[in-house]
A and B are shown apart, each in its own frame.
Chain A
Amino acid sequence: MYTCGIDVGSVSAEAVILNRQDGKFEIVAYIITPTGGDSKEAATNVFNRALEKSGLGASDMSSVVATGYGRLNIPFATKNITEISCHARGVVHYFPDIKTVIDIGGQDSKVIKLDSKGNPIDFLMNDKCAAGTGRFLEVMARALDIDIRDFAKIFAGTSQKVDISSTCTVFAESEIVSLIGHGVAKNSIVKGLVYSITGRIISMVERVGLEGPVCMTGGVAKNLAVVSALEERLNLKIKVPEEPQITGALGAALLGYPKE
């Protein structure tokens, strides 16, 4: 019995096709693509590509569950569920004992608190701006002319940091341009940026109430600089799924199965 979960975010769209056999779940195929300007088209595209990769047809899917900000705009979805429930479910699949989920995507960041059975019991989302999200890091990397994938290496190898006082993405970009103009080392700016984004996440974690174990999901979980900074500040080890970007889609696919 197959289900498909589709997570349409502001930056990327993911689809996961899942099979359940003898009570065990197996990821048959997954696809990650940029969302582009049309979320409906992105959903269709990622769905078709996942089907193609799996060698299955749409009729083989017992349900298609949509999540992410584009979840309401997917006509072929059989139901829609928020990222909050989907990320929680996806995380519990990998790590059943997780109590706090930190999800940082392209447009929003959220902290989800789980109970002992993996049910979400509270959550916080970032306010209506890109500060503290993947988009923030992307814009800053562009301003610095540094590949975002190099952030982890730079973060680990740099001891100095400058404080980035602006929380607004636009103002922070101006601040960085100004710092570069004043001859501040780019590596120190990178370190400051990582601490800036984690500072916002930490305050959300504290509001919800930190309880370990903690798991991080979303595209930014691939950025080891951010993960390291969070571990340092929270003083604990953060678990990250092998492919953190598909956690929402995986959770959606899992929630597509009927209740047991």
Chain B
Amino acid sequence: MTRMMIRGNESIAYAFKLARVQVVPAYPITPSTLVPEKISEFIANGEMKAEFVPVESEHSAMSAAIGASARGVRVGTATASQGLALMHEVLFIASGMRLPIVMGIGNRALSAPINIWCDHQDMMAERDSGWMQFYAESNQEGLDLGIMAFKIAEDNRVLLPAMVGIDAFVLTHTVEPVDMPEQEDVDDFLGEFVPHYVTLDPEKPATLGSFGFPEHYMEFKYGQWIAMNRAKEVIEEVFAEFEKKFGRKYAKVTPEFAEDADILLVTMGSMTSTTREFVKKMREKGKKVGLVKLTVFRPFPKEELREVLKNAKVVAVLERNISFGFGGAVYAELSSALSTLKEKPKVVDFIIGLGGRDITFKSLEEALSVAEKAMNEDVDEVNWIDVNKEAVLKAEGLL
């Protein structure tokens, strides 16, 4: 193991190198451009034996990834924001064909207005594409989840593609220490890639991704449903095996300072770090506040969340996405997951840090004060944090 100082984008590139990815079709986009750049460098230096396919769009990148994966080789790519949106229709083909492609996403806002900074709207908009979704808190997590994603995706019980989200700039462009595992240990952990599915092979011709008539289509979808549900246990197994081999612990849901907490702050991605520091400060002040980090969003860890959140009085969901006309996606799913509990905490949604707006202690204080109020009285279901509401209300003719 070596400790390296790398950017989040390099974490994804190193994960692909250590996983011995064989084909990387990619189209560069801010903020994830460094991923294909670094991989091209690895290939040019002879450090990585892979075919790099420079395509003319993200739609083509995913199409080429599907073709390569259908041939039965390990495939990785990376994109962000508009690039992921452009892949939209092809994403469903990758998951529908049950191809274990892994993709790094530099989580970035969607236009308009054009914005290159961090939020989770890009991946959330692909929530129903049939891909597994992992969100990294740090560059170390980007690397580790990148490696584990292959093992989970390629498991015979799963065979589904996976996205690993690293927050735009906050991770993609931030240099920090990352413990780099040895190649032989990763080889041992992942094993050689053997496709457990019919592949494109001129010696044994087969048709893949063909027509599905009404009498068959739904069975394919039911298969994906089963696979995504089984992914829950596979993720748990792979996380446990990873911890045994590399010493770093992962969980779909990680509670901290949660046991006696009245208020639990639910976070995803890089905002977890600052929130952890904030929670420590609040604990010093004697406030019963805890943190619940959500690492896996698809499959959604309902059971774990119920267990961790059931004793809290208020669950404050902090999220960098918005489903207009309802609220945040995490809030929607989490509320629905908790609905089966007899005694349930009050769930309050906080839309925060869209388009790279910095999430500071002040933002978190604003959210916490609403959550504290919610302990005793009704508050808005969906709360926008750090927003100049007056300016918007004026512009909308309401003030």
Check if A and B associate.
no
**Footprint of A on B, CB under 8 Å?**
none
**Footprint of B on A, CB under 8 Å?**
none
